[in-house]
Amino acid sequence: MSGERNVRSLPPGTPRLQLRGIRKVYPAVVANDGIELAVMPGEIHAVLGENGAGKSTLMKIIYGVTRPSAGDMFWEGEPVRVESPAQARALGIGMVFQHFSLFETLTVVENVALGLSDVPDLGDLAARIEQVSGKYGLPVDPHRLVHALSAGERQRVEIVRCLLQNPRLLIMDEPTSVLTPQSVRKLFDTLRQLASEGCSILYISHKLDEIQQLCHVATVLRSGKVTGTCIPARETPQSMARLMIGKDLPVCRHDAPKQGGEVLLRLSGLSRASDDPFGTDLQDIHLDVHAGEIVGIAGVSGNGQQELLRAISGEEPHAEKYPVQICGAEAGHMTPGRRRGLGMCFVPEERLGRGAVPGLSLAYNALLTAHRHGMIRRGLIDFDAMKRFAHDTIRAFDVRGGSVDAPARSLSGGNLQKFIMGREIRQSPKLLVVAQPTWGVDVGAAAFIRQALIDLRNAGAAVLVISEELDELFEICDRIAVIAQGRLSPAKPAAETSVEEIGVWMSGMWPSFTAPAAGQVRDVA
């Protein structure tokens, strides 16, 4: 982004964007019901609500992805109908989606080029990407293939791509879900700078402390309707949560862990060279996770989390048995299916594609990983059992906007996350490995999921959580380790460490850390 911001000066009191009576009706649900909203120039305006409250639908209407059933939209004082994202971008509206809209087989620079109206020189565009990403503390390599990026790195690409378009209204749907605390602070500095230049920002987040720090005004949605507005600086996260869900937030009950439980996950000198030239090599990783405990792994995105998850899940089997032991069996060479047969369940970082097949119904997505639980009889699918499991998961985890026959892609990100977490937890695994358990989930549902993980641990399961939410790790974990540059720190009891110490360790500065040397990986299976 170069040159001065092209922000039109408006008469005093004229909103940049105004919505009047916006209504969106789907066959099974009223997503938006008479929405009234005004966003002023230079204003950072939050939209709050539970998963399924209608936030993402409303943003898609503004951006031209979805057409409203009724209502009027005014842009800089003039009535307008936004028929497509291209028209929205031409007006000066940019959007960072909660679900990434990137082509995995293309590079970062190629993906960015597709969103621009002109046909840029890719070399010049790559230089602009590096300039903008460096300026705003969102490091992105323009020549990397998207499929090789972590969720946090993909989020950076989406944000940088939007900033390059020099928007007058910037819509951000859960932009910090997979960003590190350092990147979040830098992003906030960027957003405040943009607002000071006259850019309006619509900001959706379930992180109420972020809303309180960043936003000037908040509009609250519940069941598709506006139920109130507030000034976040005058509220507390607890009071805003009450506005959202109509009651106080539940508090997780976390008793002391059981001692001496069986080791259900053991990593014994796990080393692996990444197949991706831009990836991170795993270096001599050792970790035990016992029955009856939750172990958390913190780290800055791109430090080996993806590679570690794939090594544990079996997506990238090892040539040797010994480096990965699951429920007492040497499993390093086993497929994901065989590892699940031992009693492991797994929630990947990427919801759509790895956690769920977008075009399949929730019932069939349940079948994919939970078929061992009474859904296959004599080699045939028991469709009643399959739908019953999916229905019970939807009910138990309050998955909104989706029946058992709804395709996974039709759910909001938070509701799909609730379904995937519920699908795995309800299988009562001996070992659960989960990445970013509450990514994009509202505050009430996040507390429910965290308690479900604690309850699973109390029932004797071993739980490994990989998350960039330090507050989450300290809330639910018994021990916490850090991954940096493909190395894993010792796991320290959560009660004996602090957010500050773990933050230092995330830069690789724990006492026994030694930076890996080139070519040091001993096993390149």
Nearest alpha carbon to residue 84 among 121, 111, 117 = 117
Nearest alpha carbon to residue 44 among 240, 219, 177 = 219
Among 57-71, 247-261, 482-496, which is the least confidently predicted range?
A: 247-261
Q: Are 39 and 17 in contact, with CB atoms under 8 Å apart?
A: yes
pTM: 0.73
Q: Are 310 and 466 in contact, with CB atoms under 8 Å apart?
A: no
Token duo for residue 109? 């620079």
Quick one: pLDDT at residue 524?
33
112 has pLDDT over 80: yes
Task: Check residues 28 and 363 and name the one with the higher pLDDT.
Answer: 363
| Domains present along the chain, CATH in parentheses | 17-245 (3.40.50.300), 260-343+429-525 (3.40.50.300), 347-428 (no CATH)
What is residue 355's DSSP assignment?
A: I
CA distance 31 to 11: 33
Q: Are 234 and 212 in contact, with CB atoms under 8 Å apart?
A: no
Q: What are phi and psi of 28, to 5 degrees?
A: -110, -5
Sign of CA dihedral 500, 506, 507, 508: positive
CA distance 265 to 291: 9
What is residue 263's DSSP assignment?
A: E
CA distance 457 to 438: 17
Confidence of residue 179 (pLDDT cuts 50, 70, 90): low
Q: Could you tell me which residues come within 8 angstroms of residue 474 by beta carbon, excluding any fewer than 6 positions away? A: 480, 494, 499
358 has pLDDT over 60: yes
Confidence of residue 259 (pLDDT cuts 50, 70, 90): confident
3 has pLDDT over 70: no
